[in-house]
Amino acid sequence: MSDHIISLQGVTKEFDTKNGKVVALRGIDLDISRGDSYGIIGLSGAGKSTLVRTINLLEQPTEGKVIFDGNVLTGIRSKDLNIQRRKISMIFQQFNLLMQRDAIGNICFPMEIAGVPRAEARAKAEELLKVVDLEDRAHSYPSQLSGGQKQRVAIARALASDPEVILCDEATSALDPKTTRSILKLLRQINEERGITLVVITHEMNVIKQLCNKVAVIENGEIVERGDVQEIFAKPKTRAARKLFFPASEERETPGIKTATRNRLRLAFNEKTAYKPIISNMILETGAPVNLLYANLDALLDEQKGQMVICLSDDKDAAERQKAYLIREGVDFTEIPEESDYYDYPLHGFSEEVTE
Amino acid sequence: MDTHTLITLLGEETVKTLLMTLVGTLVSYLIGLPIGVSLIITSPNGIKPMGLYNKVMGFIVNVIRSVPFLILMIALMPYIRKVIGTGIGPKAITAALIVAAAPFVARLVEQSLMEVDPGVIEAAQAMGAGTFQIIWKVLLLEGRPSLLNGAAVAMINILGYSAMAGTVGGGGLGDVAIRYGLYRFQPAIMWITIIILVILVQVMQEAGIRIASKLDNRIS
């Protein structure tokens, strides 16, 4: 046993297509620790879906090793693989429920496959329906359920085999924002209360922010950046990561904003400072105006994090007073060098130094 | 021919036709269903891709399907005689029916199973389901409505084959139509058999649709 529940070592995947070879994954190394909620984020076509599917070998890697709970999965007999797969559940964007079985029948399905006695499976399925808050829909067929309810059935089904890991392949991408929040909440609860490791594939930063403690950014079949969500949110090193944390940065390139290139600060607010009227108090206290260029409030696993880009007063003394005020109030800030686009500048978070 | 004899004759021959159709359909499914399933799972995107088997079996199915039933029946006659002792009559015809219908059934089954959502099959694979579990619990169950609709189509087709077999003395309604209607110039009897056949087809089709939708949990 190691504390890495999943290890990918040099995983490469090539597809033969009509237009020649396409490389979907290029030598991926990835370790996921027990109990993590590990997000893998990338734009569509980056290879994230292929990556998650190599974990349970729905996709056979062309090269490299997949290790689950200390066992090498690549190259073992399909019978042995099937036994290992029972400990790795999966939920899908399109739910993939059996349309001809009712909710409870769907939840019993993995237990049937594993040879659990019928009565025992039934009882457990009923328990799981309670966990996902669908006790009253046991005998509804998928066609009678809403998208969110279908995903709840799929989550109950995923829990039925007492898995170590649940792979979530764009699990909320087909759901509306409200349903998405409730599904993410349920998944987080499962991660926290049952200690089940989650691997979360998504193209939406919000999913990572609400659900994950670790994140890997994938681009062109390679992991370009990885680490704690908090850290990467604070200091994304690559352009790919910045793009994902600042999804609309490209669109924000308006002429009005471009004119302000001097005296810019990026402020980072934390739990303590996020709710205070910092800017208006600063203006009142220093008697000098500031120009607000960008502001955003975010939550990482429910912790409030805010960021703001402001342009200080042209008056040097006033600008110094403004900075002093910010230090006094405990707001972290970084100066943005002249001529660099602020959205392309490393997002400063909770410390003073910025590395590029 | 008096009415009573006519009714007896038509009754007996209808039963013969129905028997040939039912037995023919049943045995065709016993052979065709596994072949259809095997074609699906061995296809390049199937759960157990086997290129060579898939191509060879697909080819055999196509060859038999490309021979018109009447010609196939005549060509098979000597072989059927060798195996079951007779080349005419309902037994021989049923044997010929099966040879012709099994490949047709295989293609119908293949078509139905193609409609099963690949995502659901993938979910079962991810759960660690083996090939047979996927066939039983996913493919055949999820494909059930379409399989039943296909069965009605197959049955109607086999009914048509059995009527055609009348031209070579196969017995059943087709036989009556040809012997009385054509050879003895009694168009009334021919029309009666046609009406009976139309009714049988209607009943089979309607029953097929009803059973299929009754057993389909997607609509309710």
Query: Letter for the amino acid at B100?
Result: A
What size, in residues, is chain B?
Answer: 220
Per residue in B81-90, pLDDT (tens digit) is 998 888 788 8
Note the pLDDT of residue A248. 52
- The torsion angles phi and psi of A88, rounded to 5 degrees, stand at -120, 100
For chain B, the residues whose C-beta falls within 8 A of a C-beta of chain A are 117, 119-120, 122-130, 133, 137-138, 141-142, 144, 216-220
Go through the domains of chain A in sequence order and give each one's CATH number. Answer: 4-235 (3.40.50.300), 255-344 (3.30.70.260)
Note the pLDDT of residue A180. 93
pLDDT surpassing 80 at residue B41: yes
Query: Letter for the amino acid at B19?
Result: L
β-strand partners of B28: none
A49 reaches B (C-beta below 8 A): no
CA A317 to chain centre: 43
H or E, element range at A147: helix A147-159
Note the pLDDT of residue A343. 52
What's the rounded Cα separation, in Å, for the pair A331 and A285?
A: 16
- Region B125-148: what's the mean pLDDT? 95
β-strand partners of A298: A305
Contact A96 B117 (CB under 8 A): yes
- Region B62-91: what's the mean pLDDT? 89
Query: How is residue A315 written in tokens?
Result: 């008056």
Residues of A in contact with B124 (CB under 8 A): 109, 113
Residues of B in contact with A114 (CB under 8 A): 128
Decide if A210 contacts A182 (C-beta within 8 A).
no
Q: Nearest chain A Cα to B118, which residue?
A: A96
Note the pLDDT of residue A350. 34
What's the rounded Cα separation, in Å, for the pair A150 and B119?
A: 14
pLDDT over 90 percentage in chain B: 68
The structure tokens 């409505």 sit at B145
* pLDDT by position in tens, chain A (length 356): 458 999 999 999 999 888 888 899 999 999 999 999 999 998 888 889 999 999 999 999 999 999 999 999 998 999 999 999 999 999 999 999 999 999 999 999 999 999 999 999 999 999 999 999 999 999 999 999 999 999 999 999 999 999 999 999 999 999 998 999 999 999 999 999 999 999 999 988 889 989 999 999 999 999 999 999 888 877 778 877 777 776 554 444 444 444 456 778 878 777 777 777 888 888 888 888 888 877 777 777 767 677 788 888 888 888 888 888 888 888 878 777 766 555 554 444 333 333 33
Decide if A167 contacts A56 (C-beta within 8 A).
yes
β-strand partners of A285: none
pLDDT over 70 percentage in chain A: 89
Which of A303, A317, A311, A314 shows the shortest CA–CA distance to A333?
A: A311
What's the rounded Cα separation, in Å, for the pair B66 and B31?
A: 18
Residues of B in contact with A56 (CB under 8 A): 126
Cα Dmax for chain A: 79
CB-neighbour burial class of residue B78 (10 A; exposed 0-12, middle 13-18, buried 19+): exposed
**How many contacts (CB atoms, under 8 Å) link A and B?**
79
Which of B134, B160, B136 shows the shortest CA–CA distance to B33?
A: B136
Note the pLDDT of residue A346. 44
What's the rounded Cα separation, in Å, for the pair A348 and B4?
A: 100
Residues of B in contact with A92 (CB under 8 A): 119, 122-123
What size, in residues, is chain A?
Answer: 356
What's the rounded Cα separation, in Å, for the pair B57 and B37?
A: 12
The minimal CB distance from B130 to the residues A82, A84, A100 is found for: A82
Contact B220 A144 (CB under 8 A): yes
Which of B132, B133, B136, B140 shows the shortest CA–CA distance to B116?
A: B140
Contact B120 A112 (CB under 8 A): no
What is the overall mean pLDDT for chain B?
Answer: 91
Residues of A in contact with B128 (CB under 8 A): 81-86, 110, 113-114
Of A351 and B35, the one with more pLDDT: B35
The 3-state secondary structure of chain B reads CCHHHHHHHHHHHHHHHHHHHHHHHHHHHHHHHHHHHHHHHHCCCCCCCCHHHHHHHHHHHHHHHHCCHHHHHHHHHHHHHHHHCCCCHHHHHHHHHHHHHHHHHHHHHHHHHHCCCHHHHHHHHHCCCCHHHHHHHHHHHHCHHHHHHHHHHHHHHHHHHHHHHHHHCCCCHHHHHHHHHHHCCCHHHHHHHHHHHHHHHHHHHHHHHHHHHHCCCCCC
Residues of B in contact with A113 (CB under 8 A): 124, 127-130, 133, 137
Domain extent listing, chain B: 3-214
**Measured CA distances, B42 to A59, B34, B45, B119, B179 (Å):** 17, 12, 8, 17, 47
Which of A154, A161, A164 shows the shortest CA–CA distance to A67?
A: A164
Per residue in A190-208, pLDDT (tens digit) is 999 999 999 999 988 889 9
Note the pLDDT of residue A151. 96
For A349, residues 6+ apart whose C-beta sits below 8 A from its C-beta are A230, A233, A234, A235, A268, A305, A307, A332
State the best of B214, B215, B217, B220 to mutate against chain A, taking most chain A CBs within 10 Å.
B217
pTM of the model: 0.82
Range B3-214: architecture per CATH = Orthogonal Bundle (1.10)
CB-neighbour burial class of residue B88 (10 A; exposed 0-12, middle 13-18, buried 19+): middle
